[in-house]
Amino acid sequence: MKQSILFIFILLSYFFNVSGQNKDSINYGITRNMPLFYKQLKEQLSYPMAWEKSSIKNFNRWRNEARKQVFECMRNVSPAPDNYNMEIIDTEKRNGYEIRRITFNLSSWYRVPAYLLVPQGKGPFPAIVMLHDHGAHFSIGKEKMIRPFDVKKEVLADADDWSTRCYDGQYTGDYFAEHGYVVLSVDALFWGERAQKEGPSYEGQQALASNFLQMGASWSAFITMDDIRSTDFLASLSFVNASKIGCLGFSMGGYRSWMLSALTDRIKASASICWMNTTEYLMDLSNNQNKGGSAYSMLIPNIRLYLDYPHVASIACPKPSLFFNGTKDKLFPVKGVEDAYSILHKVWNSQHASEKLVTKLWDEKHFFNKSMQKETLEFFDKWLK
Residue 56 lies in a domain: yes
What is the mean pLDDT of the segment spanning 268-284?
96
Asked if 374 and 173 count as a contact pair (C-beta separation under 8 A), the reply is no
Residue 201: per-residue pLDDT? 84
Q: Is the peptide bond before 48 cis (omega within 30 degrees of 0)?
A: no
Measured from the Cβ of residue 189, the count of other Cβ atoms closer than 10 Å reads 20
Residue 18 lies in a domain: no
Residue 285: per-residue pLDDT? 86
Question: Residue 311: pLDDT band by 50, 70, 90 thresholds?
Answer: very high
Count of the separate structural domains present in the chain: 1
Secondary structure letter of residue 78 according to DSSP? P
Q: How far is CA 240 from CA 176, 253, 285, 293, in A?
A: 14, 22, 46, 37
Where do the DSSP E strands lie in 230-266?
240-250
Confidence check: pLDDT of 2 > 70: no
Measured from the Cβ of residue 226, the count of other Cβ atoms closer than 10 Å reads 22
Across the chain, mean pLDDT equals 93
Q: In this predicted model, what pLDDT tens digit does every residue of 144-174 receive, in sequence order?
A: 999 999 999 999 999 999 999 999 999 999 9
Please report, for the domain that includes residue 80, its CATH number. 3.40.50.1820
Farthest CA pair distance, the chain: 101
Name the percent of the chain lying above pLDDT 70: 92
Give CA–CA dist 14/94, Å, rounded: 77
Residue 232 lies in a domain: yes
What is the mean pLDDT of the segment spanning 305-331?
98
Residue 5 lies in a domain: no
Q: Residue 14: CB partners within 8 Å, gap ≥ 6?
A: none
Q: In this predicted model, what pLDDT tens digit does every residue of 346-360 receive, in sequence order?
A: 999 999 999 999 999
Question: Residue 5: pLDDT band by 50, 70, 90 thresholds?
Answer: very low
Residue 11: per-residue pLDDT? 43
Residue 296: per-residue pLDDT? 85
Pairing type for strands 321-326 and 240-250 reads unpaired
Give CA–CA dist 215/224, Å, rounded: 17
Residue 17 lies in a domain: no
Per the structure, the complete domain to which residue 377 belongs is given by 44-384
H-helix or E-strand spanning residue 188: none
Residue 193 lies in a domain: yes
Residue 21: per-residue pLDDT? 43
Asked if 104 and 117 count as a contact pair (C-beta separation under 8 A), the reply is no
Residue 64 lies in a domain: yes
Residue 318 lies in a domain: yes
Question: Residue 293: pLDDT band by 50, 70, 90 thresholds?
Answer: low
Q: In this predicted model, what pLDDT tens digit does every residue of 191-205 receive, in sequence order?
A: 999 999 998 888 888
